[in-house]
Amino acid sequence: MSEAQYKNQKFQNTLRAGALFISMLALMLGLGYTLLGFTGLLWAGAFGLITLGMSTRVSSQMIMRFHGGRPLHPQQAPQLSRLLQQLAQRAGLPATPKLYYVPNNSLNAFATGSKKDPAIAITHGLLSTMDLRGLSGILAHEISHIRNNDLQLKSMVKLFSRYTRFFSLFGQILLFINLPLFFMGEATVSWMAIALLLLAPTLVTLMVQAFSRSREYDADLEAARLTGDPNALADALETLDYYNKGGWLARFQSPRGIKVPTILSSHPKIKDRVKRLRELAPRFVPRFDWASWQPTRWQMI
């Protein structure tokens, strides 16, 4: 993939994420202004910044303990550690993320922390199912989240969601106060303000999900650039989708099962992500020669 094509795709992804982020910020400040005027606007902004600063101070080790993870030392998974170190160097991270093993049979991996204190967790199910090539795509994807500061951005986005739920409580109180006043012909609070307060959580939820989907596409692009092998991540995603849906047994389930609309999902559809990655594949040259890597063994875990 040429540098111009990469920058163009990166710019489009960043532009979408920035637009969503500004919309959420404007909504939050607007809610503060609706309640207390200019003073409410200032308080909403101040509380958001203070809480964000506190949330980013939580250590990655503490978060991993919460999920039941334990450190995965290089001696236990030397090839995986070597792979992670190379990907982190290519991404320009100041520190190689710490690996954590989660004794869970689900197929999952997630990143936490910051660029200075990064960590990536991998479940037992993922290690038992995925080969090293597939893991390279998954690790590159999680490293991309760390590199792009997505973890900090997601913390801020979650704060917006919490604040809007808090504001909606005032909207409900104002609604109960407004109805009797309306029927008595007295002066009432603006119905537009009440509607905004009540609908805010729903609007922010839709924005949060759109923001998350945008960051996933961006991380996929960065992962393809780090490995030079978009098909590695595409194959891994298809494997994750297959097993997490129940494998071949899922083929016999009723087609009437409830499906979550894309607009309410925090991740894009797997088929859409795979399609994008397959289309990118001809533009890249794989950066790993897997024939030179020794077979992986996880029995030591």
Catalytic residues: 142
Helix (H) or strand (E) holding 168: helix 150-183
User: How far is the C-alpha of 202 from the C-alpha of 3, rounded, in Å?
Assistant: 39
Contacts of 48 (CB under 8 A, 6+ apart): 28, 156, 159, 160, 163
Helix (H) or strand (E) holding 236: helix 230-244
Nearest to 145 by CA among 301, 5, 284, 13: 13
Which parts of 55-205 are beta strand (E)? Answer: 70-71, 98-102, 109-113, 118-123
| Residue showing tokens 């795709």 | 9
Nearest to 130 by CA among 110, 111, 106, 147: 106
Contact between 243 and 230 (Cβ < 8 Å): no
What the block records as the tokens of 292 is 């030179």
Helix (H) or strand (E) holding 296: none
What the block records as the tokens of 240 is 């994750």
